[in-house]
């Protein structure tokens, strides 16, 4: 969900650097981040509300459509 840790995106910052700056433990920080994601419902990687335009365009589910009869087909 957060692309700050992805080197292919700008800006980029490592989780280690952020934890070191704030003086927090990486494990504790990760646990708190998961708690926040759970509380706000960020449990789906491809949730359009929390995705960048790049991620939306590269969503593998974009290749599928549902027919009137409820069948899922790849387009």
Sketch the domain layout of the chain as residue ranges. 15-74
Confidence (pLDDT) at 1? 52
Q: What is the pLDDT of residue 7?
A: 84
Angle (nearest 5°) at CA 47 between 25 and 67? 155
pLDDT at 45: 61
Tokens of 3: 């692309």
pTM, full prediction: 0.51
At residue 33, the pLDDT reads: 86
What is the model's pLDDT at position 19?
A: 93
Per residue in 2-53, pLDDT tens?
677 888 878 889 889 999 999 999 999 999 988 988 888 776 666 677 777 8
């Amino acid at each position: 969900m957060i692309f700050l840790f992805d080197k292919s995106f700008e800006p980029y910052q490592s989780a280690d650097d952020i934890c070191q700056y704030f003086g927090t433990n990486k494990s504790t920080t990760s646990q708190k981040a998961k708690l926040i994601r759970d509380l706000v419902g960020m449990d789906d990687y491809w949730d359009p509300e929390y995705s960048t335009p790049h991620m939306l365009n590269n969503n593998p589910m974009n290749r599928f459509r549902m027919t009137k009869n409820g069948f899922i087909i790849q387009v």
